[in-house]
Structure 1
Amino acid sequence: MSTIKDVAARAGVSFTTVSHVLNGTRRVSDEARARVEQAVAEMGYAPSAVARALKTSETFVFGVLVPNITNPFFAELTRGIEDRCQQTDYSVFLCNSDDEPERQKQYLQTLLERRVDGLLLAAAADQDEPLVKRLASARVPTVVVERRIPGLAADLVRVDHDAGARLAARHLICQGHRAIACLSGPSRFEVSRERTAGWRSALHEAGIVPPAEWMLEGDFSASAGYELAHGLLKRGEVTAILAGNDVMAIGVLRAAAELGVSVPGQLSVIGFDGIDLGSYVYPALTSVGYPIRELGEMAASVLLDRLSARMGERREVVLPPRLIERASTGPVRKAG
């Protein structure tokens, strides 16, 4: 592997001249620059990121830690982070915790050992005291995305989950639905609790008191949405389902199809997040959320601002949800 000294020897200049050409740190004559660039091309030389990090104490790498990369939401979120970083000198080191706090802890240690310049973190659990202590001691600029971590002094970028669920439930109520079930994500997550609270608030405003069995808890997976909806639909009580996320809603659509329940003729289904895949399931999924890639770009921008010292106090950026009306919701069918 060629070194900077090899390039200098080939170009007939000092290695400091090569460094100035590569880094743009000092003016170099056009002739010397041309010789250096030709030598770099001929030798396939690439500057050592490790050497640069040792010299500048910067790696130009952001660690991104997400709970489930198979969930399209986190895939699109990461893409947004990458898009924003691509406009700068930063690269992304992606880790997937699989919603396991212990795995999250191990990956966090790996990222810190790699001396990442900043962290973008969607936590595997809301309450994680060891995680908070480790991040506090590391003093690495951190932006938390979506899932708040109590006790952690970090910037937060999230969607207004309560408002989103209220928006979804009101959409169903405006279409005449009153028997509206909620398939929640794990109650240990604040996002699940907020979405459930929004559903309850909207129903309360409409004078609807949902039975306890209309609120079921799953794990944000398509299989959970499928299993919960199967049992719920067999009872034939509800005309609409608000799912905790779009992936669960896709599971609901599968259960409805298997049971011969037409959507939206007999059942309206609405999700949360607004993943791109929702446009391509059948029927196309109505959802609420904020453009996910823009959410990732916003989180990366907040971290870049923090690193450039353009920010003082910790920020909480709360993004307003939007209704994405597609084919899976419609007016309630009139009896008779």
Structure 2
Amino acid sequence: MQNPTIKDIANKAGVSTASVSRVLNKTGYISEDLVEKVMKAVNELNYIPNNIAKSLKVQKTNTIGVIIQDISNPFFMKIAKGIEDVLRQTEYNLLITSGEDNREKEASLLRMFTEKRVDGLILALSENHEDMLSSASKSGIPILLVDRELNLNLEVDKITENNYLSAYHLTEKIIKTGAKKIGVISGLPNVLIAQERYRGFVNCINDYGLPLTSDLIFEGDYSFDSGKDAINYFRSKNQLPDAIISLNNAMTNGAVTELLNQSIFDIIIGSYGEIEFQEYLPGLKIFSVIQAPYHLGKLAGQIMLERVMHTELIEKRSIVHTNSYNW
């Protein structure tokens, strides 16, 4: 049997189609008597709302698309949790997926989200994808960048950290422990925050007049395995540095795991981002930049909710969170 229409419900309840629409969409003034009449007709007719048709009509799907880079990384998991905690009490649902620092995958996900007509996009991308983002913005989809900045000729909301300053302070702390030979596990060169963290490290090393030769630099990819590989790389250069600075927490986890596997304890670790249980690790001295991913996620959720609920913000917001430190 064909699903009844709003007109069928109106006829059954003896009210107007506009009244039925107000009850079903919970808009405008609705008396208890009207709600009772309409819902009785809905139940008797076994009416099932056609949400697909509704979304096409009103250009609203009640979904927010979220692209983070690695859903297995606790940092990104906490961002997602912060967003979810803001939006879960609303009518909006989250579609969360990982971009994995892969340009083609990011492009495919962006295409999927825009084709599904999500109401907003919260993104931590490795690449600009300017044409796609510009097209999405022109079609009315609000865009918010969280954690990762992009060089865009496009006005969007942003929530980021001061990556340069945090990396500089971390490097300075390691230098002040007395370390003279400091290795670095850098991040993906195409990612803007990786560039900023590495720039903070290099400038601090230069400001203190310490050496920075090629054997002290390992280019990681923000993964656990690249942190492990970095330790073996430094060991292949005959002597480990006095200290190693890792510019993200996943790489730090890999580096620390490999050091413990090889029973190496007499080395100082600087980590951009805390690692779990670091205070219980035997022998290793670990100094960390304390990030606040859950806080970033909550801010992202709040701003996106304001955008999609049309509580219009006059200007795009650009929030820079100041990190604290564990030392």
**Would the TM-score normalized by the shorter structure come out above 0.5?**
yes
Are residues 32 and 151 of structure 1, via their aligned partners in 2, closer, same or farther at CA, if it must alter by over 3 Å? Answer: closer
In the alignment, what sits opposite 1:149? 150
Aligned mate of 2:276, from 261, 275, 278: 278
- Secondary structure at the aligned position of 1:278 is classed as coil
Q: Is the 8 A contact 2:121 2:143 kept in 1?
A: yes
Q: Which amino acid aligns with 2:252?
A: A
In the alignment, what sits opposite 2:320? 318
Q: Which amino acid aligns with 1:257?
A: L
Are residues 322 and 37 of structure 1, via their aligned partners in 2, closer, same or farther at CA, if it must alter by over 3 Å? Answer: farther
Are residues 11 and 315 of structure 1, via their aligned partners in 2, closer, same or farther at CA, if it must alter by over 3 Å? Answer: same
Aligned mate of 1:183, from 182, 185, 205: 185
Q: Which amino acid aligns with 2:84?
A: E
Are residues 280 and 4 of structure 1, via their aligned partners in 2, closer, same or farther at CA, if it must alter by over 3 Å? Answer: farther
| Counterparts of 2:147 and 2:32, CA distance in 1 | 50
Instruction: Give the paired residue count.
Output: 319
Q: Which amino acid aligns with 1:312?
A: I
TM-score, structure 2 as length reference: 0.83
Question: What are the residue-to-residue correspondences of 1:19-38 with 2, within 5 Å?
Answer: 19-34=21-36
Are residues 41 and 249 of structure 1, via their aligned partners in 2, closer, same or farther at CA, if it must alter by over 3 Å? Answer: farther
Cα deviation, residue 246, structure 1: 0.5
> 2:256 matched to 1:256?
no
Q: Is the 8 A contact 1:222 1:248 kept in 2?
A: yes
| Counterparts of 1:230 and 1:45, CA distance in 2 | 65
In the alignment, what sits opposite 1:90? 92
TM-score, structure 1 as length reference: 0.81
Q: Is the 8 A contact 1:78 1:296 kept in 2?
A: yes
Residue identity over aligned pairs, in percent, reads 25
Aligned mate of 2:168, from 166, 169, 185: 166
Cα deviation, residue 222, structure 1: 0.6
Question: What are the residue-to-residue correspondences of 1:25-64 with 2, within 5 Å?
Answer: 25-34=27-36, 47-64=49-66
In the alignment, what sits opposite 1:122? 124
| Counterparts of 1:318 and 1:29, CA distance in 2 | 47
Are residues 88 and 174 of structure 1, via their aligned partners in 2, closer, same or farther at CA, if it must alter by over 3 Å? Answer: farther
> 2:197 matched to 1:195?
yes
Cα shift readout 1:304-333 (whole Å, capped 9, x = no counterpart): 3444353233332211111134xxxxxxxx
| Counterparts of 1:73 and 1:7, CA distance in 2 | 51
| Counterparts of 1:258 and 1:161, CA distance in 2 | 30
In the alignment, what sits opposite 1:241? 244
Cα shift readout 1:229-271 (whole Å, capped 9, x = no counterpart): 1221453341221112100001111111122111xxx112232
| Counterparts of 1:155 and 1:28, CA distance in 2 | 36
| Counterparts of 1:79 and 1:291, CA distance in 2 | 12
| Counterparts of 1:309 and 1:29, CA distance in 2 | 27
Q: What is the root-mean-square deviation of aligned Cα atoms in Å?
A: 3.2
| Counterparts of 1:220 and 1:173, CA distance in 2 | 23
Are residues 162 and 45 of structure 1, via their aligned partners in 2, closer, same or farther at CA, if it must alter by over 3 Å? Answer: farther
Q: Is the 8 A contact 1:250 1:281 kept in 2?
A: no
| Counterparts of 2:48 and 2:80, CA distance in 1 | 27
In the alignment, what sits opposite 1:68? 70
Are residues 29 and 140 of structure 1, via their aligned partners in 2, closer, same or farther at CA, if it must alter by over 3 Å? Answer: closer
Cα deviation, residue 19, structure 1: 3.6
| Counterparts of 1:42 and 1:152, CA distance in 2 | 55
| Counterparts of 1:2 and 1:36, CA distance in 2 | 16
